[in-house]
Amino acid sequence: MKYLITGGAGFLGGFVIEGLKRSGVGAADIIAPRSKDCDFTRQQQTEDYIAAHKPDVIVHLAARVGGIGANRDNPGYYFYANAAMGLHLMEAARLNRVKKFVQVGTICAYPKFTPVPFKEDDLWQGYPEETNAPYGIAKKALLVMCQAYRQQYDLNAIYLLPVNLYGPRDNFDLHSSHVIPALVRKCLEAAANKAGHISAWGTGKASREFLYVEDAAEGIVKATLNYNEPEPVNLGAGFEITIRDLTELIARLCDFKGRIEWDATKPDGQPRRCLDTSRAKAKFGFVAQTSLEDGLKTTIAWYRANVLGR
Known catalytic residues are: 135
User: Terminal CA-to-CA distance of the chain, rounded, Å?
Assistant: 42
> CA 197: distance to chain centroid?
30
CA distances from 292 to 10, 241, 250, 276, 289 (A): 22, 10, 10, 17, 10
In 3D, which of 151, 125, 128, 158 has the Cα closest to residue 228? 158
Euclidean distance between CA atoms 62 and 277, whole angstroms: 23
